[in-house]
Every structure is written in C-alpha cells, then in structure tokens.
C-alpha cells in the first residue's frame, strides 16, 4: 500500500511512528511543511523536516518533541557571548551540524529535496521524506504590537511571542510562486490513500496545501483522503493551533476544522471520543466521520489511531 502523509512537526512525526507500526509493509511518502523554515546565523533551519527525520530516525529529544536528544548548547552560548542572537530560538550543538550540512549542500547548488534525502541517508527514517517545495516559502504572521501592524516570522510568533498576541493574518510568503518538489505530485498520483495527521491545519497542512498543484492533485487523485482532528474538546491537543485558526476565521472545534478542509478534499475525518457529538455535523458536510481515541499518549495509542485512519479510508473507498 502506498500512503502519502502531509506532515507538520511534532504531531505529524509522532503520528508517523504509529502509522509505521500499524502498516510496516506500506510505502510511506511524507510531504513535509517547510513554511516554518528559518535562516539563522547564516544557516538554513528546517524544523518540521528535522522533527520528522529525528523522530523516525531515533535522534529526537523525546520529551520536547523537537531538537536532538542529549543536546548541549555551547555554540549558542558562545554566540550569545558575542552578542549574536536570537537567544529565543534554541539551536543545540548536535542540531547545528544538521543545519551546517544542509546549508553547505544548498550553497553547492543542491535543491532542498536532494539535501533532505542526503540527511535521511544518515537517519533512515523508514519513509520517503520530501519537502513540499524546493522553493523558499516562509510563513509570516501579522500582529498588532503597540498599535502598529507588523509581520513577524512564524518562529518569532510561535517561540518568542508564544502566540500571546492575536494573529491578524497568516501568510505563506512565496507559496504562490512555488512549485511542488520533485516527487510530490507523482507520489500523490500513485497513492492508495492520503492522510492528514493531527498537525496544525493552518501553518502545517494548510501551508503544504498552499503550494500550487498539491491541493488539486489530492482532490483529483481519486483515492481516500482521511484526516485526524488536532482539536480535542475545543482545544488543540498540543501547541497553539487555536491562535492561528482564529486568524483564518475557523473555530477551534473538530467539526470546524473538518469543514475548513471541506468535502472537496476530505473523505473521512476522525474526531476524539470526547467530540463524538461533532460527528453528525461533519457528516452533514459530506465527510464520513468516526469518533475514536485521538490522544497520542504512547506508541500503542498512536498505532491504534493510525489503524483507525486506514480503516476509515477503506470504508470510504467502499
């Protein structure tokens, strides 16, 4: 079975662990969000690609969900001693090596997709990890600070501001001019099922869908498209998805997120058992809905979720 997954960071990566466990024989292609990418200290940092790569490759800081395990921060403190920041973004020494290799290869002319493949040769994530695009796409968030409208990089909004100010708009800068990375459209066209993990629907899955051609390819693939709600009991399971959902006028409910994707894209939607009453509203919108436990508390729970997603895909396939 060929499965395509559109993934953000922590939620997507953890879901993929469960998917690999429930479908060990499957050929899994992950289309990763690169809108969170940021240039720091002259280096290109790709948080979501790295989170997937480290999580599946056994190098992630398990507790934090991002960055390397057994990390140290000597370089960061040396940079700070020179007064060179930003200090609010925690790049560790081990992680720095990844960004140095990536930046060196990009500088030598390799596209991000080729660089990602080279990095994965070390980590062996057991999936084919593709960036959504080789082109630069950067998510910016418009905020009002001291009565003035400013656009800040997504990482500044998420990490420095902790989404504490209202997001007025979320803009994937460069998306309109971008094209899907090699292999992205082909993997969708050849897929047996497409899954949206419980990733952020605006700044993760939404950014991937903003690359011209990807949404259309999924809608036209003619295969089941099943998503899992990142909202449980009217609040995000992790992160601050509610802040960016508000910016695009979507309520933080499992049903509202399903309607946001829409029946033109989604065939099936899993909500948590806590939101079982939302199922009727989702089905009214033309999307098959099931209520199952959606908390990724451990590998067993995550594997069961992935299994439910594949079962729903078979159900809608008919």
Question: What is the bridge-based pairing of β-strands 193-196 and 2-7?
Answer: parallel
Q: Which one, 66 or 110, has the nearer CB to ligand FO1?
A: 66
Q: Considering the rule CB under 6 A, would residue 158 count as an interface residue with ligand FO1?
A: yes
Q: How far apart are CA 195 and CA 178, in angstroms?
A: 22
Residue 313: strand, helix, or coil? helix
Task: Rule CB under 6 A: choose which of 18, 32, 47, 59 binds ligand FO1.
Answer: 47
Q: How far apart are CA 79 and CA 302, in angstroms?
A: 39
Task: Rule CB under 6 A: choose which of 8, 18, 201, 224 binds ligand FO1.
Answer: 8
- Tell whether residue 50 is among the known ligand binding residues: yes
Cα→Cα distances 196→24, 265, 310, Å: 19, 11, 11
CB of 155 to ligand FO1, least distance (A): 5
Q: Considering the rule CB under 6 A, would residue 213 count as an interface residue with ligand FO1?
A: no
Tokens matching residue 217: 């390819």
Q: How many residues bind ligand FO1 (CB under 6 A)?
A: 17
Q: Considering the rule CB under 6 A, would residue 37 count as an interface residue with ligand FO1?
A: no
Residue 238 burial (10 A CB sphere; 0-12, 13-18, 19+): middle
Question: Which range of residues in 43-51, 104-112, 206-214, 243-251 is near ligand FO1 by CB under 6 A?
Answer: 43-51
Task: Rule CB under 6 A: choose which of 90, 126, 183, 213 binds ligand FO1.
Answer: 90
Helix (H) or strand (E) holding 5: strand 2-7
Q: Considering the rule CB under 6 A, would residue 106 count as an interface residue with ligand FO1?
A: no
Q: Considering the rule CB under 6 A, would residue 66 count as an interface residue with ligand FO1?
A: yes
Task: Rule CB under 6 A: choose which of 18, 32, 59, 67 binds ligand FO1.
Answer: 67
Tokens matching residue 303: 């594997």
Q: Considering the rule CB under 6 A, would residue 196 count as an interface residue with ligand FO1?
A: no
Q: How does DSSP classify residue 199?
A: -
CB of 159 to ligand FO1, least distance (A): 4
Q: 250 with 257: CB under 8 angstroms?
A: yes
Number of helical H runs and strand E runs in the chain: 13, 14
Q: Which one, 90 or 213, has the nearer CB to ligand FO1?
A: 90
Task: Rule CB under 6 A: choose which of 61, 95, 272, 308 binds ligand FO1.
Answer: 95
Task: Rule CB under 6 A: choose which of 6, 44, 53, 89 binds ligand FO1.
Answer: 89
Question: What is the bridge-based pairing of β-strands 138-145 and 2-7?
Answer: unpaired
Task: Rule CB under 6 A: choose which of 29, 155, 178, 303 binds ligand FO1.
Answer: 155
Neighbouring residues of 132: CB distance < 8 A, sequence distance ≥ 6: 31, 32, 33, 34, 180, 181, 184, 207, 208, 211, 214
Q: Which one, 95 or 281, has the nearer CB to ligand FO1?
A: 95
Question: Which range of residues in 41-49, 220-228, 242-250, 283-291 is near ligand FO1 by CB under 6 A?
Answer: 41-49
Residue 69 burial (10 A CB sphere; 0-12, 13-18, 19+): middle
Q: Considering the rule CB under 6 A, would residue 61 count as an interface residue with ligand FO1?
A: no
In residues, how long is the chain?
Answer: 318
User: Which spans of this chain sit near ligand FO1 (rule: CB under 6 A)?
Assistant: 8-9, 36, 45, 47-48, 50-51, 66-67, 89-91, 95, 155, 158-159
């Amino acid at each position: 079975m060929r499965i395509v997954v559109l993934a953000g960071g922590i939620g997507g990566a953890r879901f993929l662990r469960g998917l690999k466990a429930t479908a060990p024989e499957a050929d899994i292609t992950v289309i990763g969000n690169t809108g969170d990418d940021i240039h720091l200290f002259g280096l290109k940092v790709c948080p979501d690609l790295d989170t997937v790569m480290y999580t599946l490759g056994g190098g992630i800081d398990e507790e934090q969900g991002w960055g390397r395990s057994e990390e140290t921060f000597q370089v960061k403190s040396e940079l700070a001693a020179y007064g060179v920041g930003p200090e609010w973004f925690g790049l560790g020494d081990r992680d720095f090596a990844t960004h140095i290799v990536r930046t060196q290869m990009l500088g030598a002319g390799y596209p991000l997709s080729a660089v990602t493949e080279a990095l994965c040769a070390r980590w062996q994530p057991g999936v084919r990890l593709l960036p959504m695009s080789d082109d630069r796409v950067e998510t910016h968030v418009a905020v009002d600070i001291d009565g003035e409208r400013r656009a800040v990089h997504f990482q500044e909004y998420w990490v420095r501001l902790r989404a504490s100010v209202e997001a007025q708009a979320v803009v994937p800068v460069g998306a309109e001019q971008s094209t899907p990375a090699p292999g992205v459209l082909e993997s969708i066209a050849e897929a047996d099922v497409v899954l949206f993990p419980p990733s952020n629907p605006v700044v993760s899955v939404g950014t991937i869908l903003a690359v011209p051609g990807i949404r259309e390819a999924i809608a036209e693939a003619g295969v089941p498209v099943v998503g899992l709600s990142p909202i449980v009991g009217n609040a995000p399971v992790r992160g601050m998805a509610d802040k960016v959902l508000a910016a695009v006028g979507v309520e933080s409910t499992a049903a509202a997120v399903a309607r946001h994707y829409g029946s033109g894209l989604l065939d099936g939607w899993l909500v948590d058992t806590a939101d079982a009453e939302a199922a009727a509203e989702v089905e009214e919108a033309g999307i098959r809905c099931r209520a199952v436990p959606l908390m990724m508390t451990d590998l067993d729970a995550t594997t069961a979720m992935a299994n439910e997603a594949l079962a729903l895909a078979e159900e809608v396939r008919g």
